Structure 1
């Protein structure tokens, strides 16, 4: 039965919590272990039931082309050719008959391996060794016993209860034969494969799909018989016999692959769980961040925003510079108008914004913090300069001046005074044309900031101020600025003059 994930409608469920009555997809449960079929509910922490591919497997009739291609893969085709062609070269004596019989056993042994492998989620055929290894031939003998038991039951019913009863028993045996093959392949038990209650229960759990498959199998049997009859009637026996054997073997593999797929399709109803294996042999390494993403996603969809905030804060304690988590925390706090959280985390949020050049987010955060507390001021001089630099390049000139106001008084002796006031000078000169004010800041830098690089820039900028030229460094220090260092010219002039 197809079930969708509670949190991701449209995605097939892989896990189910009987207590919470919730279904989860693989994205919700990245920390669960599908190989061991172990996972804990993220809500109640109780063990989950693994559903395997029960919710995403396609109905068998949509895969008919794949069923017909199945025998022509390398391994099954080799089995068919060996079992078909080798007997042609054997002499009709006791040894030849024994070898032919063993090849027939190998073919049927391989078909039961097909059922088990398909039911386990492998859509590729079993390896060649499954046919010719020394073990596993008992399953073929058990199937012979099952056939004999069905014939004996029909004869006994006819002899003891009459012709009609025998006919009914034979009809049930024929109808239940595919179910009996499936039970024998999975349980390896003759008793289970001939138990009418087992067979009736299997058929009832699969439902009408079983009867649809039965019709396909009947049609396939008729088609195979007609093809073999045509070969015998119209072709030379040297060609007709191996061709008929080839067709019969290919038909048998198709039939058993379809039976295995039906088990795989109805695994939940039949009480086991398996997943598509061939596409997932190499499982990715566990990534803790995927579990955090899943927890955040589920709690957001449940409306538990405080829980999401707690998850993000806990994650950032372990990894305080994680850009993904910082972005998520900022968006969540903004959506909730959580100024307390923004105030607590503003330093690391601003470092992330400065590093990622998130000027719009920085402006929004500063507005929020200043509205919440008009006296708000950054206390980290290096971060303040980095933020002011980014705002300068984005044309937020008034904000630059506000941010760096009285910088030397607040951070006396800081090595960031020079970079801060060089930036103020560029803002006043390039943005507002206030050359005198810019010159005052530059002379202050020359007087109080002895760092060689700072002194050189201050001297260069003073020469440019004297000629009323835009202030520009020898090399562009930031991409969006043009070679002349022009930015936002004229913007906010009135505000700057009153600053």
Structure 2
């Protein structure tokens, strides 16, 4: 059953809390371990149930093209070529027979690895080595036992109820054969793969899509048989054998890949969880960075209306990292939305620093307007911050607020290196913004007299000449002449 995330409707859920009865998506659980299926509910701290990709996997009937492309990757093509062409090159003796049987076993082992790998969420084929190495060859003997068991079931039905019951048993065996292959691949048990109750239970949990897939498999088998018959009938014997073997192996891999994908698609109904494993962009879930977890908690708390909790979390985060621009932005937006001017006043210095770093003159003007009723004579104790804020306000057209920040600057910061640029800025505000040329000249005269060692001192005469001519205070024009 498909579930959407409680906090992000439209996003498929990956986790479920049985205590809170809440579904979470990957954005809500950035710190969960998807590889191990471990996650803790951010609400009640109970272990979550991992849903894997069950809620977002694409139905198998929408990806038939991908099934047919599957065998034509490099690894399966190599396996098919080895298992098909090598027996044809061997002599018809005991050695050739043994090698041919071993290659048939390797191909069958590879096809079962395809089922397991696909059910785990790998949509790329297994590497070549899995066909010829490892301990998975026991699956071949288990498959033989399953066939023997099914034959015994049909024979027993014939002995007990005659030909009619035998026909019914055979029809049942044919119907449950794909389910038997899936059970054998998952449980590696021949007994489970021939247990009628086990097989019918799996079919019942999957439902009607099993029968739809069964129809595809029948068509696939008929197409494979027809293609091989055409090859044997129309090609010369030296070519017909390899083509027929290639077609048989190719259609077998397609069939087993489809069975594995059906398990992957209905993993929740079948009681396990897996996710797409071939996405190289997945994050390392072992990272210790708490930032994504905090962002997810903030997002959920905002949607739940827990604004006090969000505010406390942001303040705590800023105590650990006072210069975190992202947290300052979040806190600013939250306090403005809540109209919490008292808290804005307590945090106004770092918030103004964040606003000026982003050249947000409108935000600075709004924040100062909010703080004015609380402190009409508010002055900043940091000369550089005061000058930068005033400059942003000047470019925003907030001339009076800018001048207020620069008021008595020489008295409050007499030895500050920022005094010269602050008063030149005051002159620009008065001249360009307020048409008060005499006051602008006074500020420039102060800079000329008191800031003789400042690098801007050499430009003051140019400013004063512009004031005398009632020209906009833009400073001396740049020159590109090169002295001899």
TM range (shorter): over 0.9
Instruction: Trace 1:64-143 onto structure 2 (pairs within 5 A).
Output: 64-133=64-133, 135-143=135-143
Partners of 1:439 and 1:235 in 2: CA distance: 102
Query: CA distance change for structure 1 residues 455 and 187 in 2, over 3 Å: closer, same or farther?
Result: same
Residue-by-residue CA offset, 1:362-399 (whole Å, 9 max, x unaligned): 11111111134434333333211111122123332222
| One of 323, 333, 336 as aligned partner of 1:334 | 336
Q: CA deviation at 1:14?
A: 1.1
For structure 2, the 5+ residue unaligned runs are 479-484
Query: CA distance change for structure 1 residues 26 and 282 in 2, over 3 Å: closer, same or farther?
Result: closer
For structure 1, the 5+ residue unaligned runs are 477-499
Stretch moving more, 352-361 or 142-151? 352-361
Query: CA distance change for structure 1 residues 416 and 95 in 2, over 3 Å: closer, same or farther?
Result: closer
Partners of 1:342 and 1:415 in 2: CA distance: 29
Instruction: Give the TM-score normalised by structure 1.
Output: 0.90
Partners of 2:340 and 2:361 in 1: CA distance: 20
Instruction: Trace 1:269-418 onto structure 2 (pairs within 5 A).
Output: 269-280=269-280, 283-284=283-284, 286=287, 287-411=289-413, 414-418=416-420
Partners of 2:205 and 2:305 in 1: CA distance: 38
Which residue in 2 is equivalent to 1:251? Answer: 251
Partners of 1:386 and 1:278 in 2: CA distance: 50
Q: CA RMSD in A?
A: 2.1
Instruction: Trace 1:419-498 onto structure 2 (pairs within 5 A).
Output: 419-449=421-451, 451-453=453-455, 455-474=457-476
Which residue in 2 is equivalent to 1:497? Answer: none
Helix, strand or coil at the partner of 2:446: helix
Verify the 8 A CA contact 2:463 2:476 in the aligned structure 1. no
Helix, strand or coil at the partner of 2:373: helix
Which residue in 1 is equivalent to 2:235? Answer: 235
Helix, strand or coil at the partner of 2:322: coil
Partners of 2:17 and 2:134 in 1: CA distance: 43
Which residue in 1 is equivalent to 2:60? Answer: 60
Query: CA distance change for structure 1 residues 256 and 370 in 2, over 3 Å: closer, same or farther?
Result: same
Residue-by-residue CA offset, 1:40-84 (whole Å, 9 max, x unaligned): 111111111111111111111111111111112111112212222
**Residues paired across the two proteins, number:** 476
Q: CA deviation at 1:294?
A: 1.4
Partners of 1:333 and 1:200 in 2: CA distance: 59
Q: CA deviation at 1:412?
A: 5.3
Partners of 1:104 and 1:281 in 2: CA distance: 37
Q: CA deviation at 1:463?
A: 4.2
Partners of 2:174 and 2:130 in 1: CA distance: 28
Helix, strand or coil at the partner of 1:162: helix
Helix, strand or coil at the partner of 2:372: helix
Query: CA distance change for structure 1 residues 339 and 134 in 2, over 3 Å: closer, same or farther?
Result: closer
Partners of 1:123 and 1:85 in 2: CA distance: 26
Instruction: Trace 1:1-80 onto structure 2 (pairs within 5 A).
Output: 1-80=1-80
Verify the 8 A CA contact 2:120 2:275 in the aligned structure 1. yes
Which residue in 1 is equivalent to 2:481? Answer: none
Q: CA deviation at 1:247?
A: 1.5
Query: CA distance change for structure 1 residues 468 and 191 in 2, over 3 Å: closer, same or farther?
Result: same
Query: CA distance change for structure 1 residues 210 and 446 in 2, over 3 Å: closer, same or farther?
Result: same
Q: CA deviation at 1:235?
A: 2.9
Helix, strand or coil at the partner of 2:212: helix
Residue-by-residue CA offset, 1:416-460 (whole Å, 9 max, x unaligned): 444333322222223333232223333334444454335444454
Q: CA deviation at 1:31?
A: 0.9
Helix, strand or coil at the partner of 2:44: coil
Helix, strand or coil at the partner of 1:23: strand
Partners of 1:475 and 1:195 in 2: CA distance: 93
Partners of 1:426 and 1:107 in 2: CA distance: 83
Q: CA deviation at 1:263?
A: 0.6
Q: CA deviation at 1:411?
A: 4.4
Which residue in 2 is equivalent to 1:493? Answer: none
Residue-by-residue CA offset, 1:19-51 (whole Å, 9 max, x unaligned): 111111111111111112111111111111111
Stretch moving more, 426-435 or 326-335? 426-435
